[in-house]
Structure 1
Amino acid sequence: MRWDHLFDDLAGQLEHELHAEELDLQQEEERLRLGRLELRGRLAVLLREREPERRILILRTHDGALSRVRLRSLGRDWLAGDLVDLSAAQVVVPLRAVESLVLDVEQAQRTLEPTAARDDLSARLGLSFLLRDLCRRRTPLTVQTAVGDLHGTVDRVGRDHLDLAVHDRDTPRRATAVQQVRLVPFDQVLLVRL
């Protein structure tokens, strides 16, 4: 009878230790997973939200400017969305130009959720690809840098810079309207407003 009690006690202790070890292992795996999270991955979770209002975030660029953006798409090194405060304005922001993102507590918690890795095409498209598309379309835009805003049309896109034909906002890009051509390194671009 005493042996049965002793064996039951030992079995209970062993089960408790195994359960505690399993919990420690799960906690360590979660810490490792959180340590591997990247900004782009956390934004991808927000992008999957069905309700557009749940994709709104406030971003602050390195010049201190704050913008309320409804996230629409995400590339390898950029995000795109609609400016909430301005009607019909769309922006492209290089991720390296983001000083910080302001999320509410619920959004921040949701971005920590584990998600299955998806191999979507946009995850491989860099900023230069997007700017080349805007160049082909001859889209007038405003390039925001730390020094100021430049309005014009992208003429060419190199590996690490763009050629911007600067002209007045209300005139189309014509040779006679171009005041100057600015070569803008990508690392100086904080935001592109369409």
Structure 2
Amino acid sequence: MRWNRLFDDLEVQLDRELDLEDRGLRQEEERLRLGRLSLRERIAALAAPGEPAASAVRVEIGDETFHVRPTAFGRDWLAGDIIGEGPYPLACVIPFASVTAIVVTSESRIAASLETERESTARLMERIGLVFALRDLCRRRVGVSIVTVTGRVHGTIDRVARDHIDLAVHERGVPRRTRDVAEFRILPLTAIRYLTME
């Protein structure tokens, strides 16, 4: 009889130790998963498909804060629509390096942003860097307003190099013509906070 009780006690103790070990492993796995989580993944989780208003993310860049509804994610940038700035959404490109904060007012949305599933293979769009996106805007000759660390400038991107762009500065709403170009600016990519398109 005492042997049975001893074996029962050993079994309960072993179950308890195995449970503690499993719990410790799960906690360590969660710490490792969170340690690999990127800002890009958190923003993408916050902007998960659903109601348009729910997919908007409040972005802080320097001293500006606005709501963006992301439409595409690159490796180091996001494209989206700035909402609430006028009658129509304003298309923008934001480098992740310029984001100073993502403002979230609900603890449940914070928790949801942590529940991301890492895909083993990223889509092609998600591997494209900011330079590639800027080269596309250059090729299309799209008028852009660029907010830099020192202010705002409007023009057309003439060239995109590895770490900077050449911008032909001209009035908004005017196509880029040599006679309308006021000046040229060479802008380091690190100075670009975000840009909007006409």
Band of TM-score, shorter chain: over 0.9
Task: Figure out how many residues of one structure are paired with residues of the other and give that number.
Answer: 193
User: Is the CA contact (8 Å cut-off) linking 1:140 and 1:151 kept in structure 2?
Assistant: yes
Looking at structure 1, the residues matched to 15 and 57 of structure 2 have their Cα atoms a distance apart, in angstroms, of 46
Give the aligned partner of residue 165 of structure 1: 168
Looking at structure 1, the residues matched to 28 and 100 of structure 2 have their Cα atoms a distance apart, in angstroms, of 30
Matches within 5 A, 1:1-150: 1-61=1-61, 63-86=62-85, 87-104=88-105, 105-117=107-119, 118-150=121-153
User: Is the CA contact (8 Å cut-off) linking 2:49 and 2:55 kept in structure 1?
Assistant: yes
Could you report, residue by residue, the CA deviation over 1:72-128 in whole angstroms, capped at 9, with x for unpaired residues?
A: 111011011101112231111111001111123222211111404142011211111
Higher mean alpha-carbon deviation, 66-75 vs 112-121, is at 112-121
**Is residue 2:180 matched to residue 1:180?**
no
Cα shift at 1:47 = 4.1
User: Is the CA contact (8 Å cut-off) linking 2:138 and 2:156 kept in structure 1?
Assistant: yes
Looking at structure 2, the residues matched to 54 and 109 of structure 1 have their Cα atoms a distance apart, in angstroms, of 15
In structure 2, do the counterparts of structure 1 residues 144 and 114 end up closer, same or farther at CA, with 3 Å as the change threshold?
closer
SS of equivalent to 1:52: coil
Cα shift at 1:190 = 0.3
User: Is the CA contact (8 Å cut-off) linking 2:42 and 2:113 kept in structure 1?
Assistant: yes
The amino acid across from 1:128 in the alignment is V
The amino acid across from 2:13 in the alignment is Q
Could you report, residue by residue, the CA deviation over 1:146-170 in whole angstroms, capped at 9, with x for unpaired residues?
A: 2111001111111111111100112
So what's the TM-score if we normalise by structure 2?
Answer: 0.92
User: Is the CA contact (8 Å cut-off) linking 1:92 and 1:192 kept in structure 2?
Assistant: yes
User: Is the CA contact (8 Å cut-off) linking 2:168 and 2:185 kept in structure 1?
Assistant: yes
The amino acid across from 2:117 in the alignment is T
Looking at structure 1, the residues matched to 66 and 44 of structure 2 have their Cα atoms a distance apart, in angstroms, of 19
Looking at structure 1, the residues matched to 149 and 122 of structure 2 have their Cα atoms a distance apart, in angstroms, of 34
Looking at structure 2, the residues matched to 178 and 186 of structure 1 have their Cα atoms a distance apart, in angstroms, of 21
Looking at structure 2, the residues matched to 101 and 45 of structure 1 have their Cα atoms a distance apart, in angstroms, of 12
Q: Give unpaired runs (5+ residues) of structure 2.
A: none
**Percent of aligned pairs with the same amino acid:** 44
SS of equivalent to 2:180: coil
Q: Give unpaired runs (5+ residues) of structure 1.
A: none
Looking at structure 1, the residues matched to 32 and 118 of structure 2 have their Cα atoms a distance apart, in angstroms, of 16
Tell me the C-alpha RMSD between the 2 structures: 1.3
Looking at structure 2, the residues matched to 88 and 112 of structure 1 have their Cα atoms a distance apart, in angstroms, of 28
Cα shift at 1:31 = 1.1
Looking at structure 1, the residues matched to 116 and 67 of structure 2 have their Cα atoms a distance apart, in angstroms, of 26
So what's the TM-score if we normalise by structure 1?
Answer: 0.94
